[in-house]
């Protein structure tokens, strides 16, 4: 089974080709520090070829949802060090996913401060999960050019902090409608400075961040997650094929660890020209490691590897419910079913209490 074969990314040897996808679980404390329960959660899943953490806020401004962890205070760095030490002791590899939510947030959980974005355009037709229940999205404040450049430095500092915390690498969350994605798509970015307008300008924010992450971590230690055909959080672009073809071609010039491509996870019938299979449309533009993500089971994941369309497959809810997922795939064992009600917030229930096979 190709899913269980080893793979080298630079000097990192992955013991299999299953990646634990980054998944928000909202179990940090109010200060954005991770606790011993979170240490246990990641260690339980250290049999993955690579763990990518839940999204981690790069600054106080980056916060969009309550009880999500950060990497910008001394205490947060120290708390993550316990996670990386424990995962390494269990012979695992772990990358931190770096996060700025941009307009995907609410002032209720930002000390009354409005969210920021590429442009002052609100997300429509959705509500946001806040500490006071679902709320309509607010119109964000447009960032100044100087502020955009400062956020690039915030990403760089978060990477420095991730390195200090013992992470093996970092991933930029540039998917699913968060700030980097907001700069990319022309439906959310109406700027007229160097970060808006043309595809080249709209890609600049992401490319400058990736250059900064490479500068900190070096070759083969920085990855990026992209969702070219996902309209969620108002990510509507007039020509995603042209946009992401340019972006991925430029990313290919950098010594990245990988790109993680999300397949469409929502109906896109309203967008007939959008790529229906991101690997077919964009895979040939990137000659390094490709991780594919988006509702894969064992059979479909194995098929992508067999057909050499991807090198790794990332699994989300399957890893939530099955801490020993590689072993279950190896034995063709039955999988535990994830409990949707305990995905976000709470304690060990639905977090660290899913049974292993031997239990």
pLDDT per residue as tens digits for the range 70-80: 999 999 999 99
Q: Is the pLDDT of residue 97 over 70?
A: yes
- Residues 201, 223 contacting (CB under 8 angstroms): no
Catalytic positions are: 178
- pLDDT for residue 338: 95
Q: Is residue 57 part of a domain?
A: yes
Burial of 337 (0-12, 13-18, 19+ CB in 10 A): exposed
Picking from 244, 139, 226, 240, the residue whose alpha carbon sits closest to that of residue 187 is 240
Q: Is residue 236 part of a domain?
A: yes
Output the domain CATH number for residue 110.
3.20.20.70
Under the banding of pLDDT at 50, 70 and 90, the label for residue 359 is low
The tally of domains found in the chain comes to 1
Q: Is residue 193 part of a domain?
A: yes
Displacement of CA 274 from its chain's centroid (Å): 22
218-263, pLDDT tens digit by residue? 999 999 999 999 999 999 999 999 999 999 999 999 999 999 999 9
Under the banding of pLDDT at 50, 70 and 90, the label for residue 129 is confident
Q: Is residue 269 part of a domain?
A: yes
Q: Is the pLDDT of residue 194 over 90?
A: yes
Q: Which domain holds residue 277?
A: 2-342
Q: What is the mean pLDDT of the chain?
A: 97
- Any bridge partners for residue 169, and if so which? 95
Q: Is residue 195 part of a domain?
A: yes
| 320 vs 265, residue with greater confidence | 320
Q: Is the pLDDT of residue 358 over 90?
A: no
Q: Is residue 352 part of a domain?
A: no
Alpha-carbon dihedral 82, 86, 91, 95, rounded to 10 degrees: -30
Q: Is residue 218 part of a domain?
A: yes
Q: Is residue 6 part of a domain?
A: yes
First to last CA, the chain: 25
């Amino acid at each position: 089974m190709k899913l269980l074969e080893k793979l080298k990314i630079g000097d990192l040897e992955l013991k299999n080709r299953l990646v634990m996808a980054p998944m928000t679980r909202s179990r940090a404390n109010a200060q954005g520090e991770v606790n011993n329960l979170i240490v246990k959660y990641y260690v339980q899943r250290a049999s993955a070829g690579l763990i990518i953490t839940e999204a981690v806020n790069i600054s106080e401004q980056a916060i969009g949802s309550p009880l999500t962890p950060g990497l910008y205070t001394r205490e947060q760095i120290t708390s993550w060090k316990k996670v990386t030490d424990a995962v390494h002791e269990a012979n695992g590899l772990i990358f931190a996913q770096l996060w700025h939510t941009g307009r995907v947030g609410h002032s209720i959980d930002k000390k009354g401060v409005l969210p920021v974005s590429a442009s002052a355009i609100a997300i429509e037709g959705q509500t946001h999960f806040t500490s006071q229940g679902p709320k309509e999205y607010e119109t964000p404040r447009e960032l100044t050019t100087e502020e955009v450049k400062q956020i690039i430095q915030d990403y760089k500092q978060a990477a420095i902090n991730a390195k200090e915390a013992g992470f093996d690498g970092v991933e930029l969350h540039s998917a699913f409608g968060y700030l980097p994605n907001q700069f990319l798509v022309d439906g959310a970015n109406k700027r007229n400075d160097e970060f808006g307008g043309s595809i080249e300008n709209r890609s600049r924010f992401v490319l400058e961040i990736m250059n900064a992450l490479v500068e900190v971590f070096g070759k083969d230690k920085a990855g990026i997650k992209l969702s070219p055909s996902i309209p969620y959080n108002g990510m509507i672009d007039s020509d995603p094929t042209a946009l992401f073809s340019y972006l991925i071609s430029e990313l290919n010039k950098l010594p990245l660890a990988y790109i993680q491509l999300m397949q469409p996870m929502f109906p896109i019938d309203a967008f007939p020209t959008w790529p229906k299979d991101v690997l077919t449309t964009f895979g040939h533009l990137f000659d390094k490691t490709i991780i594919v993500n988006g509702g894969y089971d064992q059979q479909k994941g194995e098929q992508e590897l067999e057909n050499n369309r991807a090198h790794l497959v990332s699994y989300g809810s399957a890893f939530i419910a099955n801490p020993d997922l590689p072993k279950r795939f190896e034995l063709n064992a039955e999988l535990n079913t994830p409990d949707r009600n305990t995905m976000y917030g709470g304690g060990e229930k639905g977090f660290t209490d899913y049974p292993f096979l031997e239990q």
